[in-house]
Amino acid sequence: MLKANEPAQTPALDTLPDSRQRRLRAWLTNVKYYLGLIVLIALGALTSPHAADGSNIFLSAANFSDVFRQVANVGVMSVGMTLVIITAGIDLSVGSVMGFGSVLTAILLTTPGSNTASWTALGLDAVSIFIIVCGVGGLLARRTRGHMQGAGAGVHARRRHGLRMAVALACALFACAYAWHQLPVKVSLWTVLWMVPLAGLAIGALNGWIITRGRMQPFIVTLAAMVGVMGVARLVAGQDTAVYSIYSGSNATTDIELLRALLFGVVPVPALFFVVIALIADFVLNRTVFGKYLYAIGGNEKCARISGLRVDRNKIAAYAISGMLSALVGVLYAAQYRQGKADAGVGWELDAIAAVVIGGTSLMGGVGRIAGTVAGVLIFGFLGNILLLNNIDSNTQLVMKGLIIVVAVFLQQTRMNPQTMFARFSGHKGVIATPAQRQTQSSGSGAEKR
pLDDT in tens, 361-406: 888 889 889 999 999 999 889 988 898 888 887 788 788 778 877 8
pLDDT reading at 148 higher than 80: no
pLDDT of residue 448: 47
pLDDT of residue 284: 94
pLDDT in tens, 198-229: 999 999 999 999 999 999 999 999 999 999 99
pLDDT reading at 277 higher than 90: yes
Least confident range from 280-284, 342-346, 418-422: namely: 418-422
Kind of pairing, strands 267-268 and 262-263? antiparallel
Residue 45: inside a domain: no
The Cα angle at residue 188 between residues 184 and 190, in degrees rounded to 5: 140
Residue 6: inside a domain: no
**pTM, 2 dp:** 0.83
Residue 283: inside a domain: yes
pLDDT reading at 421 higher than 80: no
- Quote the distance between the C-alpha of residue 214 and its chain's center: 24
Residue 24: inside a domain: no
- Residues 139-153 have a mean pLDDT of 58
Rounded to the nearest integer, the mean pLDDT of the chain is 82
- Residues 276-304 have a mean pLDDT of 94
Give the percent of the chain with pLDDT over 70: 80
Domain span holding position 257: 73-145+155-372
pLDDT of residue 11: 47
pLDDT of residue 253: 75
Least confident range from 7-21, 55-69, 160-174, 197-211: namely: 7-21
- Residues 325-338 have a mean pLDDT of 94
Domain count, the chain: 1
pLDDT-based confidence at residue 182 (cuts at 50, 70, 90): confident
Give the percent of the chain with pLDDT over 90: 36
Residue 273: inside a domain: yes
pLDDT of residue 16: 45
CA distance linking residue 357 with residue 82, whole number of Å: 9
- Residues 222-244 have a mean pLDDT of 87
Quote the longest CA-to-CA distance of the chain.
98
pLDDT-based confidence at residue 430 (cuts at 50, 70, 90): very low
pLDDT-based confidence at residue 184 (cuts at 50, 70, 90): confident
User: What percent of the residues of the chain are helix, what percent strand, and what percent coil, each to the nearest 5?
Assistant: 75, 5, 20
pLDDT-based confidence at residue 359 (cuts at 50, 70, 90): confident
pLDDT of residue 362: 87
**Bridge partner residues of 248 (DSSP):** 252
pLDDT in tens, 81-118: 999 999 999 999 999 999 999 999 998 888 887 788 88
Pinpoint the alpha helices (H) of 267-310: 269-287, 289-299, 301-306
CA distance linking residue 353 with residue 78, whole number of Å: 7
CA distance linking residue 88 with residue 78, whole number of Å: 15
Residue 4: inside a domain: no
Residue 63: inside a domain: no
Residue 57: inside a domain: no
CA distance linking residue 365 with residue 428, whole number of Å: 26
DSSP type of residue 273: H
pLDDT of residue 437: 46
